[in-house]
Structure 1
Amino acid sequence: MSVAISTLQDRLQAASTDFQKIQNDLSNVVEARQRLEAQLSENELVKKEFSQLTPSNTVYKMIGPVLVKQDQAEAKSNVDTRLDFIKGEMKRVEAQLKELDENSEKKKMEIVEIQTALQAPQASAST
């Protein structure tokens, strides 16, 4: 009986460690999603500003400490490409988030099952 309890306690410890790791990963992915959302918002704002430009307006790109003149079409294209990339990354991060949520729930259920199994002998011993 003692060996079974020891095995369950070891499983509980391992499952708890795995659960913590999943929670850390989840936290990192949520941070990544927030950064992507900020970048998406910023780039959408830039695209909106570009839509208000006239052909006579000059666009500059900051390269290090220097502003370099850039073709409007190229600048617009760069922003569109960046937006597509960010949206793709957001889809990837959302899928990763969904997977981690599912894994977290599975691990949580495993922990509950192990805790229940550990408490069963204690409950029968006290009656």
Structure 2
Amino acid sequence: MASSPAAVRELQQDLESQANALSKIQKDIAKNHQELELLNENSNVYKLIGPVLVKQDIAEANANVRKRIEYISVELKRLDGTLQDSEDKQNSKKESVLQLQQKIQTLQAGKSKSYLPFVRTVQSFYLLSSSGYSSMLFPVKTFLPC
């Protein structure tokens, strides 16, 4: 069944993994913004190439960091959209599961009441004694199916 609680749990797990990825990317973009600020404050920038530090042009370093920020921003927007879609799917699945549960409850409640229209009531009943005479009239209420 597409609207099962297992499907909702699976969507919840997907949502959590996407939220974790979004959090990681937000941390990455924050680090890159800090790096950009440091580049603007310092005049000497070095790049690690293998075991050697090589002096790097500030404009080149600035451009590299800006490109990373741009790439991460696009990825952040994409993940944000995916996260929103997953939340919408999860909410719709939860709603469908709740509707199914309500239908089941109404059907179960209806089953217990469904016998009442098919029952007729016998108000009185003659009790015959063993001698064959009607001794008395007893008011008895019994339910018989129609």
TM-score, with length taken from structure 1: 0.80
* Equivalent position amino acid for 2:84 in 1: K
Deviation of the 1:118 alpha carbon: 1.4
CA deviation string 1:97-123 (max 9, x = no partner): 110111011100110111111112211
Corresponding residue for residue 3 of structure 1: none
Does residue 36 in structure 1 map to residue 25 in structure 2?
A: yes
Which of 34, 49, 53 is 1:45 aligned to? 34
Corresponding residue for residue 136 of structure 2: none
* Equivalent position amino acid for 2:16 in 1: S
Corresponding residue for residue 16 of structure 1: 5
CA distance in structure 2 between the aligned counterparts of 1:28 and 1:47, rounded to whole angstroms: 29
Aligned CA RMSD, in angstroms, stands at: 1.7
For structure 1, the residue ranges without an aligned partner over 5 or more in a row are 1-10
CA deviation string 1:33-91 (max 9, x = no partner): 110111111111111111112xxx32112345543332211111100000001111110
Name whichever of 86-95 and 16-25 sits farther off: 16-25
For structure 2, the residue ranges without an aligned partner over 5 or more in a row are 114-146
Larger strand share, 1 or 2: 2
Aligned residues: 113
* Larger of the two Rg values belongs to structure: 2
Q: Does the CA contact (< 8 Å) of 2:39 and 2:45 recur in 1?
A: no
CA distance in structure 2 between the aligned counterparts of 1:66 and 1:119, rounded to whole angstroms: 72
Q: Rate the CA distance shift 1:64–1:107 in 2: closer, same or farther, 3 A.
A: farther
Larger helix share, 1 or 2: 1
CA distance in structure 1 between the aligned counterparts of 2:55 and 2:103, rounded to whole angstroms: 69
User: Greater RCO between the two (CA within 8 Å, min separation 6)?
Assistant: 1
Identity %: 31
